[in-house]
Chain A
């Protein structure tokens, strides 16, 4: 589809389904049916066979028209699981799962991390055993955002412990309402419970929900993780006026006599960093790599996470003694649409940003990825290389 045809399709969508008055799920359904979900894929998958770079055009025009953003209704599904299904799902899986995923009618979560397999995701221990046309899942996952709201999840499980760790993993779509699934909130240092622990006790998954070949799960997982970094980095970096919150914070402090040359310089330095990240995000998107995430995602994830920590610390410092006040530590679980609860109090944000350099790949892991996959530096020492998973110490 050409840019002109795409523009016409967007205009038709907006005309037939007024974005601000139509129910968000209905609007997103119409958007999917119009081939404007992921523009570069087939019509049956919610696309128009258009150039990937044109996705930005769709997002811009729809945002300008006040349309609901699918990511707000299904953050993990839109950012990570959907792109993974597009890349690795069977036609039947794509037909069954993509539309309700896109509309947010079925919220998705990602079940990769485990208590003993965080940065070393491939060391995971959750088992899946074949039983006829089904698989039986046993184990525990952790750090699963939105699992308490999710209908489905993308899970990595160990299907052959005799193989080296990367080779014995298989990916599945799992029904989180199935018998044997238990979701428990996990309270964080902010007091909130955004994440969950999820327990699997003899959970049955049909073989038709296997994503990719048995033993090929690591490749599926890598697609998800790369998309996660694009999603996290991009979401943090692309803002209307990057860094304006920092300048505003300093102005308020200065008006109370709390300004000084050092803080002023730091405010401008942070403003510059926010804008440079913003420009990098745009440059990455303009490179036309949507649907095929490249190293820019890892660069952005790293810089925005580090930026967020420093920016939050700066804002708390500007508050002086009041910076130590918190709105409370009550247990809260996030709801959807995401972002509707408003911007968290400065101190809560300050606490939350300590997770930014850990979640979705720690800054150390991201530096390894940049060093090895982008710069081509030699790999880390791996004492578990070629060793059967069951023989690796843990």
Chain B
């Protein structure tokens, strides 16, 4: 295998237009108002895990759920870069909402399908926020594998089997399921309340993002695109998901760095702010390095995803590995800088720490992605 290791046209990395910066400011202001820490804590203790009123405002006033959905399908018609920028701000506040499941996983799956009817029918609801959708693709190790069988009957398809770790799976109105039909893996749509569908909410480390196992038992489903067409679509959706998630992670990493810096400036020990001690100062500097590197990797990956650049799988794995480790390390360091208070339930440090670890495990952990890269490079 000839494997030229290339990361695409790097000239486009991380330079945002004034319009994009304005979008960032708008989303940031909205989230600061609607998703303060108190709201995050209240919502994470609920079964639904989101605030329907805020969700409605996001859809109707800001059009965020459909930000990168083309206007012909009811979206705002921006690019994937803008979606990533919105996710970064959401990651900074830990917004509890089914945004990632619906606006990233489900919307991307439909957009990448060759099913014009399904796009016209299903995307507008997702884009407006009226439909909460998700994607069910994983087996019990989180890999895009495992058998859900699709059976063709005279009255349509039915699905049987179990999908694991489905983001917001217990909440979703519309579930896109990857299942095996006669011609191979295919994408199906299942509606909430369908016969034989049962959801088991999972008790997860990161309370701000809900997951569920979904079981199908002769559940009626609608085929999206052609039978056997899921492989290419799912591959690409998961690369896009990696890129989206690392951009969300940049926001979280940024936020914990700010927390650590503020605390190191205010907290006095031995008669001095602890940030004047190199033991703390140098930890904070290393956190900054990790955040800056994460920005470089995530912004570049977003640009390559938007450009449909052939380097996407390489830059997505690169970013998922680098940012996954970087976010986790800065979230962990933030606890250490805060000392005892950083280990308490009442401090937000653990919320970010848990989000960082859970995000690292989603869509393949750093070691997995380095292994994927090694294969690609023919090592």
Interface status of A315 (Cβ within 8 A of chain B): no
Chain B residue nearest to A379 (CB atoms) is: B276
Interface status of A278 (Cβ within 8 A of chain B): yes
Rounded to whole angstroms, the CA-CA distance of A211 and B10 in the bound complex is 39
Asked whether B265 lies within 8 Å of A299 as measured between CB atoms, the reply is no
Asked whether B292 lies within 8 Å of A275 as measured between CB atoms, the reply is no
Rounded to whole angstroms, the CA-CA distance of A381 and B271 in the bound complex is 12
Partner of A279, one of B13, B321, B370: B13
Rounded to whole angstroms, the CA-CA distance of A374 and B6 in the bound complex is 32
Chain B residue nearest to A366 (CB atoms) is: B285
Asked whether B288 lies within 8 Å of A272 as measured between CB atoms, the reply is no
Rounded to whole angstroms, the CA-CA distance of A302 and B282 in the bound complex is 12
* Residue total for B at the interface (Cβ-Cβ under 8 A): 43
| Residues of A356-382 whose CB lies within 8 A of B | 364, 366-368, 370-372, 374-381
Given contacts A279-B7, A282-B13, contact A377 B276 (CB under 8 A): yes
Partner of B6, one of A241, A254, A378: A241
Partner of A364, one of B13, B282, B318: B282
Asked whether A286 lies within 8 Å of B281 as measured between CB atoms, the reply is no
Interface status of B322 (Cβ within 8 A of chain A): yes
Partner of A367, one of B275, B282, B293, B299: B282
Rounded to whole angstroms, the CA-CA distance of A372 and B293 in the bound complex is 19
Chain-A contact segment, one of B85-93, B130-138, B193-201, B371-379: B371-379
Asked whether B288 lies within 8 Å of A374 as measured between CB atoms, the reply is yes
Inter-chain contacts of B276 with A (CB < 8 A) = 377-381
Majority SS of interface residues in chain A? helix
Interface status of A283 (Cβ within 8 A of chain B): yes
Rounded to whole angstroms, the CA-CA distance of A59 and B331 in the bound complex is 39
Interface status of A280 (Cβ within 8 A of chain B): yes
Rounded to whole angstroms, the CA-CA distance of A381 and B276 in the bound complex is 7
Interface string of A180-221 (1 = CB under 8 A from B): 000000000000000000000000000000000000000000
Asked whether A303 lies within 8 Å of B293 as measured between CB atoms, the reply is yes
Interface status of A339 (Cβ within 8 A of chain B): no
Interface status of A243 (Cβ within 8 A of chain B): yes
Asked whether A377 lies within 8 Å of B288 as measured between CB atoms, the reply is no
Rounded to whole angstroms, the CA-CA distance of A302 and B285 in the bound complex is 10
Rounded to whole angstroms, the CA-CA distance of A378 and B280 in the bound complex is 11
Inter-chain contacts of B68 with A (CB < 8 A) = none
Chain B residue nearest to A286 (CB atoms) is: B15
Partner of A272, one of B6, B282, B285, B321: B321
Given contacts A272-B318, A272-B370, A280-B292, contact A251 B15 (CB under 8 A): no
Rounded to whole angstroms, the CA-CA distance of A271 and B7 in the bound complex is 11
| Residues of B289-316 whose CB lies within 8 A of A | 289, 292-293, 295-297, 299-300
Rounded to whole angstroms, the CA-CA distance of A357 and B371 in the bound complex is 30
Asked whether A247 lies within 8 Å of B275 as measured between CB atoms, the reply is no
Interface string of A297-309 (1 = CB under 8 A from B): 0010011000000
Rounded to whole angstroms, the CA-CA distance of A381 and B299 in the bound complex is 38
Interface string of A263-291 (1 = CB under 8 A from B): 01101110111011111101100110000
Residue of B11, B282, B379 ringed by the most chain A CB atoms within 10 A: B379
| Residues of B352-378 whose CB lies within 8 A of A | 367, 370-371, 373-374, 377-378
Inter-chain contacts of A277 with B (CB < 8 A) = 293
Given contacts A241-B5, A259-B379, contact A279 B296 (CB under 8 A): yes
| Residues of A235-276 whose CB lies within 8 A of B | 241-244, 247, 250-251, 254, 259, 264-265, 267-269, 271-273, 275-276
Asked whether B265 lies within 8 Å of A377 as measured between CB atoms, the reply is yes
Interface status of A114 (Cβ within 8 A of chain B): no
Partner of A370, one of B15, B289, B370: B289
Partner of B13, one of A265, A271, A283, A377: A283
Interface string of B1-38 (1 = CB under 8 A from A): 00001110011011100000000000000000000000
Given contacts A271-B5, A279-B296, A279-B297, contact A372 B281 (CB under 8 A): yes
Rounded to whole angstroms, the CA-CA distance of A273 and B373 in the bound complex is 13
Rounded to whole angstroms, the CA-CA distance of A272 and B290 in the bound complex is 13
Inter-chain contacts of B292 with A (CB < 8 A) = 280, 296, 299
* Residue total for A at the interface (Cβ-Cβ under 8 A): 46
Rounded to whole angstroms, the CA-CA distance of A267 and B293 in the bound complex is 18
Asked whether A283 lies within 8 Å of B299 as measured between CB atoms, the reply is yes
Inter-chain contacts of B378 with A (CB < 8 A) = 251
B220 CB to nearest A CB, Å: 44
Inter-chain contacts of B261 with A (CB < 8 A) = 375-377
Partner of B289, one of A251, A264, A299, A377: A299
Asked whether B300 lies within 8 Å of A265 as measured between CB atoms, the reply is no
Interface string of B162-199 (1 = CB under 8 A from A): 00000000000000000000000000000000000000
Asked whether A282 lies within 8 Å of B10 as measured between CB atoms, the reply is yes
Chain A residue nearest to B261 (CB atoms) is: A375
Partner of B379, one of A264, A286, A370, A376: A264
A290 CB to nearest B CB, Å: 14
Rounded to whole angstroms, the CA-CA distance of A276 and B300 in the bound complex is 9
Asked whether A265 lies within 8 Å of B296 as measured between CB atoms, the reply is no
Rounded to whole angstroms, the CA-CA distance of A270 and B322 in the bound complex is 11
Rounded to whole angstroms, the CA-CA distance of A364 and B281 in the bound complex is 10
Interface status of B264 (Cβ within 8 A of chain A): yes
Asked whether B281 lies within 8 Å of A283 as measured between CB atoms, the reply is no
A383 CB to nearest B CB, Å: 13
Rounded to whole angstroms, the CA-CA distance of A375 and B299 in the bound complex is 22
Rounded to whole angstroms, the CA-CA distance of A303 and B296 in the bound complex is 13
Inter-chain contacts of B42 with A (CB < 8 A) = none
Chain A residue nearest to B326 (CB atoms) is: A276
Rounded to whole angstroms, the CA-CA distance of A271 and B371 in the bound complex is 12
Inter-chain contacts of B295 with A (CB < 8 A) = 283
Asked whether A377 lies within 8 Å of B281 as measured between CB atoms, the reply is yes
A361 CB to nearest B CB, Å: 13
Rounded to whole angstroms, the CA-CA distance of A379 and B278 in the bound complex is 10
Inter-chain contacts of B273 with A (CB < 8 A) = 377-378
Given contacts A243-B5, A279-B7, A279-B10, contact A250 B284 (CB under 8 A): no
B298 CB to nearest A CB, Å: 10
Inter-chain contacts of B5 with A (CB < 8 A) = 241, 243-244, 247, 271
Chain A residue nearest to B372 (CB atoms) is: A268
Asked whether B285 lies within 8 Å of A279 as measured between CB atoms, the reply is no
Closest 3 CB pairs of A and B: A377-B275, A367-B285, A279-B296
Which residues does A use to contact B, with CB under 8 Å? Answer: 241-244, 247, 250-251, 254, 259, 264-265, 267-269, 271-273, 275-280, 282-283, 286-287, 296, 299, 302-303, 364, 366-368, 370-372, 374-381
Given contacts A278-B7, A364-B282, A368-B285, 13 further A-B contacts (CB under 8 A): A243-B5, A247-B5, A280-B293, A283-B15, A283-B295, A286-B11, A286-B14, A287-B15, A299-B288, A302-B289, A375-B275, A378-B272, A381-B272
Can you report 21 A-B residue pairs in the complex whose CB atoms are below 8 A from each other? Answer: A241-B5, A247-B379, A250-B379, A271-B5, A272-B370, A276-B296, A276-B297, A279-B7, A279-B13, A279-B14, A282-B10, A282-B296, A302-B285, A303-B293, A368-B282, A370-B284, A371-B275, A371-B288, A376-B265, A377-B261, A379-B276
